Chain A
């Protein structure tokens, strides 16, 4: 019982810490790539704290304020369904297919909130976000099906267990893993998929009217989002991990490669992003799926 309560409190905190640490490291690495020194490493913590304790917050209505709250609630929920370093948590209550939909709860809550801000920039941002999601969802479901058929289960803990002793999906289904990487990359909205927030076009899109504690909440939920997407990738393709340190290192490796791509690419047009996802990643994912079916 005590262990359960500890996990219930600990898991979201650890997830948040991991996500936040990635945000911190990212700014430093980006600065080095651009030959700057960059801010101090704990700058994102300062940012979040500053936003949270602001005295003047504006709100456009109840739904506007609920948006960031639902975003965080949905993220915390998703954390419990992704096995973290040996803890299976709630994977017995919802499998991989359920997780795909659970992961959408936070984003949809956020979308409702942004829509209530009565700003067309926010609306365009959400329209782009959903379109992009539709784009990467097609290859995503194909690789999810491939993995499920590979291990004859949709239970994430079982999928992690089946990859024990270095028998990672990355080695058995390399094509799916590559597509999985591209999909995770798009889900995090890094260049060239930063169409949703695109500061030069739609003034940070959904976030345009958010400030103060609302924006602080959104930054927290972004930290969760980074954790969820990468942790799912690690569980599906890199065999999860038995302790938190290895889990962190695997996640960091994935994230590090992402930053390398992030800084050198321009931005897609939204329909080109969808076309991109429905072309090569889908074809490669289908080839991988057929390999699983034939095997």
Chain B
């Protein structure tokens, strides 16, 4: 028996406990422990990287074996989990310094490591019990992380955990249903049961498990927790939530669609539309709606982190859309986009976190002109937004391109149009982000802002480099993805280190050519530019104002309501709010509770006593009359 997976799984949990204890000694012991153990986890991960473990039995419960296993897809997700966690912990060291209460900080680091461990457990799980166990640990620890963010985060966390619990219940029911049939919850056994059961049973299982994953992946209409939770959480936690945690939902969807339920099975038990099983087709539409509506919402935000949170819903829409296409190219695109989104969204959240660290606000209209004060953070954010907008040669482009090609091949034109619209809309909100924070007029109160300390810069550097590398060399990620998808029965797709040859796709792509020609033309244009006389630098107050004189006291900046005129166009869409529908039900439940339940549970001791008397009397009467109570 090989203990390596158990070791990988245990490291962050043990590390979390040691970190907490270390915090009692000194805060530096705690910080070093936290960084060290997440580094150790990453080290172990890279040591075993790309080896396939068929199944390590690590225990048993209710007669069902508990199994840890790996395949190339798990390594892809483990790479995301371990590396982003490490970067987040490094970033936290300086970012969370302002927190005075050491007990809070000790538990903060412990929870960070626990979330990392829980996510590793989810990915490594080879049976549904292990999966569910770590799924719940993840939900709870991430809830505690969210509520570290201050007063407002309490409500956000509450909403998050309520929705997570609903999802978890749905999953639990599904797991119990499977167990009652199969008496084993190991993936191959589950797959066998699903293929032999009646279609209704299988469809119910998929829907129930799907609800759990949809909540976590924040696919509309189960997304309402995400904007609050991701924006109210502490700055270093947001990248972990947006970059990694919602990917667990995507991973879960991948497992049920292609692990537990093979594509053929889905085709056999339900009708197909555009050669997609109808259930997956519905998932595609939900994902596409997420893309478009979340994009519209992101455009209208005034809060930097809320904007990014809505953009996460939109981007996870691409991942789910890709996964639900069912073709090799689409699923590969979805998985690749999961990796890319983890990289660039973490980068963006860290960059915004850096701005919050220095200025103390995330309100877009309070910021502006910071490019001269925080040049490095600016570069990091610009790289992130270019990747997010899907502009070549950075990484977001390649995976989106694959999803577009996959949809085009299947002739699912309406979904394709929606995916395109979401991507163009991304130009709007990413420009708003960079403009309102870094461009425009520098306000006087930010005259003395500096760039962030080196420990906060390093994580951003790493992610910037990763964004560029995966953008120009998509083959690096495709090696793992294609190898893993072969194990799930997908046809291989033709690719090379720099992109895709024409053949399996409708057009060719070679990102290195795009990147190098862009570089060359940039250098040529720059040299041409330098040929002419040097320019004189002027202050921001030396500016055209139709004859007025711009003074430091005068706010001469356009930032609030940046897309107001566009808002007027899309206003009719916002008349429908999913959150309002949920709140309506919450209110209804409250009224029901207040009005009807209070009649029974009066809170009055005498009423309760009389209930006892009534019940006992009935029971006694039943026994006396010769009946049996049970």
Give me the interface of A with B, judged by CB distance under 8 Å.
12, 52-61, 63, 65, 68-70, 72-74, 76-77, 80, 90, 92-98, 101-102, 104-105, 108, 111-112, 115-121, 123-124, 126-128, 130-131, 133-134, 137-138, 141-142, 145, 148-149, 152-155, 203, 208-209, 212-214, 216-217, 269-271, 274-275, 278, 289, 293
Contacts and interface: CB of A to CB of B under 8 A. Distances in A.
Contacts of B508: 92-95, 155
Interface stretch (B31-39, B416-424, B463-471): B416-424
Nearest to B513: A93
Interface string B262-275: 00000000000000
Contact of A111 (B431, B499, B505): B431
B524 A58 contact: no
Contacts of B386: 108
Contact of B413 (A72, A203, A289): A289
Interface in B162-204: none
A250 B517 CA distance: 28
A84 to B, nearest CB: 15
Contacts of B427: 104, 108, 130, 133-134
6 contacts: A59-B537, A101-B392, A102-B391, A118-B540, A120-B556, A138-B424
Nearest to B413: A145
Nearest to B556: A120
A145 B417 contact: yes
Contacts of A124: 558
Contacts of A105: 391-392, 518
Contacts of A270: 565-566
A56 to B, nearest CB: 7
B538 interface: yes
Contact of A95 (B507, B533, B558): B507
B428 A93 contact: no
B566 A271 contact: yes
Interface string B526-542: 10110011111110101
B525 A73 contact: yes
Residue from B439, B513, B558 whose CB has the most chain A CB atoms within 10 Å: B439
Nearest to A151: B506
Contacts of B389: 104, 108
B382 interface: yes
B441 interface: yes
Nearest to A155: B507
A95 B534 CA distance: 39
Given A115-B440, A145-B416, A94 B513 contact: yes
A120 B372 CA distance: 18
A95 B511 CA distance: 11
A93 B509 contact: yes
Given A142-B417, A213-B535, A123 B558 contact: yes
Nearest to B501: A92
A120 B513 CA distance: 37
B477 to A, nearest CB: 18
Contacts of B369: 118
B392 A95 contact: no
Interface in B552-573: 556-559, 562-563, 565-566, 568-569
Contact of B391 (A54, A104, A145): A104
A123 B55 CA distance: 57
A130 B431 contact: yes
B544 A95 contact: no
A293 to B, nearest CB: 7
A271 B439 contact: no
Contacts of A148: 408, 506
B504 to A, nearest CB: 13
Contacts of B425: 134
B502 interface: yes
Given A65-B529, A138-B421, 14 more contacts: A58-B536, A61-B537, A69-B529, A70-B522, A73-B525, A76-B521, A76-B524, A97-B405, A97-B408, A98-B392, A105-B518, A108-B386, A108-B431, A203-B544
Given A60-B538, A96-B507, A278 B569 contact: yes
A153 B507 contact: yes
Contacts of B382: 112
B133 to A, nearest CB: 43
A127 to B, nearest CB: 5
B525 A69 contact: yes
Given A70-B522, A138-B417, A115 B569 contact: no
A59 B535 contact: yes
Q: 4 closest Cβ contacts across the A-B interface? A: A95-B507, A115-B439, A154-B507, A57-B535
A152 B535 CA distance: 50
A148 B411 CA distance: 10
Given A97-B405, A118-B441, A118-B540, A141 B417 contact: yes
Contacts of A141: 416-417, 420-421, 424
Given A95-B506, A130-B428, A148-B506, A123 B559 contact: yes
Residue from A72, A80, A94 whose CB has the most chain B CB atoms within 10 Å: A94
